[in-house]
């Protein structure tokens, strides 16, 4: 007799032939359960699940980090808000881009005027930077100026950059995609 082998959530993870139901159940003890298949019924491990005794196809997975919630009938993000925030912080800390590309992106978004961009691209300090540097502790002001002047690449988390625009704009400039705001997702789901 053929059986679909399922994990505890009902996802089909394999199939096999066993003489009796008890043999099939014993083969997956500790990691799942089995579902008897009718003759000629084929299953695709990883692409189908069992619910209410029926073999159902999973809808296409929109992102690799999602898991399928059978109760909701939808792909959901299992990460907590803290997990998601930590992942975003790590991506921000690792993000950088060439100074020229950064200045061009800021100009395209209206963060820097064309005149300020011409100053900034050569390592100068346009008006947009001066207030940010002035707000830094006095011992950090010289370092910020020196780092910008000598920069080939711009780090996302540089104290000079953080003050230039809001988090959303900076993440867009550095190619860090944010999901839509929490409120736009059902049942408090973080993102797609």
Q: What is the pLDDT of residue 151?
A: 92
Higher pLDDT, 84 or 121: 121
Reported as a pLDDT band with limits 50, 70 and 90, residue 179 is: low
Q: What is the pLDDT of residue 52?
A: 86
Q: What is the pLDDT of residue 168?
A: 84
pLDDT tens for each residue of 15-72:
888 898 888 888 887 888 888 998 888 898 888 888 888 898 989 888 777 888 878 8
Would you say the C-alpha torsion 149, 113, 169, 163 has a positive or negative sign? positive
Q: What is the pLDDT of residue 84?
A: 78
Long-range contacts for 64-67 (Cβ within 8 Å, ≥24 apart)? 66/192
Helix (H) or strand (E) holding 146: helix 138-150
Q: What is the pLDDT of residue 178?
A: 63
Q: Report whether pLDDT(126) > 50.
A: yes
Reported as a pLDDT band with limits 50, 70 and 90, residue 116 is: very high
pTM for this structure? 0.61
Reported as a pLDDT band with limits 50, 70 and 90, residue 83 is: confident
Higher pLDDT, 186 or 24: 24
- Alpha-carbon distance of 68 to 58, in angstroms, equals 8
DSSP 53-99: TEEEEPPPPSSTT-EEETTTTEEE----HHHHHHHHHHHHHH-EEEH
């Amino acid at each position: 007799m053929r059986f679909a082998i399922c994990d505890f959530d009902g996802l089909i993870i394999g199939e096999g032939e066993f003489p009796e139901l008890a043999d099939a159940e014993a083969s997956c003890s500790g990691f799942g359960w089995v579902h008897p298949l009718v003759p000629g019924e084929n299953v695709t491990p990883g692409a189908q699940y069992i619910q209410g005794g029926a073999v159902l196809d999973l809808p296409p997975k929109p992102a690799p980090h999602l898991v399928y919630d059978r109760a909701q009938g939808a792909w959901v993000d299992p990460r907590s808000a803290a997990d998601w925030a930590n992942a975003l912080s790590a991506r921000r800390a690792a993000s950088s881009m060439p100074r020229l590309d950064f200045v061009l992106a800021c100009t395209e978004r209206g963060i820097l005027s064309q005149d300020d961009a011409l100053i900034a691209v050569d390592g100068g300090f346009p008006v947009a930077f001066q207030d940010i540097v002035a707000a830094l502790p006095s011992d950090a002001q010289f370092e910020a100026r020196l780092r910008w002047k000598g920069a080939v690449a711009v780090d996302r988390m540089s104290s000079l950059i953080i003050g230039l625009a809001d988090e959303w704009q900076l993440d867009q400039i550095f190619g860090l995609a944010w999901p839509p705001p929490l409120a736009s997702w059902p049942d408090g789901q973080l993102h797609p």
